[in-house]
Amino acid sequence: QVQLVESGRGLVQAGGSLRLSCAASGRSFSRYAMGWFRQAPGKEREFVGVINWSVSNTYYADSVKGRFTISRDNARNTVYLQMNSLKPEDTAVYYCAASRSYTPDEEYEYDYWGQGTQVTVSS
């Protein structure tokens, strides 16, 4: 069992930066790929990016590629989402999730989810 808690919610202006954290409790955190998803008002939840368990591979949605970076610290059981050059369309609730797959980008591949944290980008 893995429990995930996101933090770092905030309101930023367009062009600004924000870093989200996701702290995991439970065993074997380092064996899970960790992904980030987001859900904007009135829209379905969408994939943002993922980092695999060995930290050797990351994969991002085209909409955030070059602006967002995922990293993880297995010693601290924490994964991060660094968001730069934020746009109003990045406004959403952001979720972290854990998966036993290698670099999963579909919701059904994830076993555990955090409660989500709100990010609002003003224009």
Rounded-to-integer distance, Cα 93 and Cα 8, Å:
11
Q: Strand 117-122 to strand 10-13: parallel, antiparallel, or no bridges (unpaired)?
A: parallel
Please check the confidence at residue 82 and state whether its pLDDT lies above 80.
Answer: yes
Specify the pLDDT at position 58. Answer: 94
Model pLDDT, residue 102: 83
Instruction: Give the H or E element holding residue 29.
Output: none
Instruction: Tell me how crowded residue 38 is: count the other CB atoms within 10 A of its CB.
Output: 22
pLDDT at 26: 81
* Distances 55 to 12, 16, 17 between C-alpha atoms, Å: 29, 26, 23
Per-residue pLDDT tens for 13-54?
A: 999 999 999 999 987 888 899 999 999 999 999 999 999 987
Give the mean pLDDT of 100-114. 92
